[in-house]
Amino acid sequence: MLRYLPFLLVLAVWIYAFIDVLNTPEKEVRHLPKVVWVIIVLLFGEVLLGPIAWFVTGKVRRPAGGGGSVRGGRGGQWVAPDDNPEFLKSLRDEGPDEKNKDRGSEG
């Protein structure tokens, strides 16, 4: 079973890179057209040259956590809800009548 592990890992990286190329918007693809990247990943995937080239140079990478939708006032960094002034303000704005309506409909 262990002798199949390298083959399965290469196959997993190959498939992941192929799906990543297909799901990446055209404007985020660097250096070559998207169609060329698909061909490179498919042709050179077995030896991992295509997927490695795609991961290193083909796609615009964002910093970790860059896709979160909840933003606070600290320069665009992610803020937990209990530290987010906008979220806390929305809780304060919610009147007691709205809270009782929600509780009354539960049971």
pLDDT single digits (tens) 3-40: 899 899 989 999 999 999 999 888 888 888 889 999 99
Confidence of residue 72 (pLDDT cuts 50, 70, 90): very low
Q: Which of 80, 81, 101, 99 is nearest to 89 (CA)?
A: 81
What type of residue is 41?
V
pTM: 0.56
Is there a contact between 21 and 34 (Cβ–Cβ < 8 Å)? yes
- Distance CA(103)–CA(41), nearest Å, equals 54
The pairs formed by 78-87 with CB atoms below 8 angstroms and a separation of 24 or more are: none
pLDDT class of 103 with cuts at 50, 70, 90: low
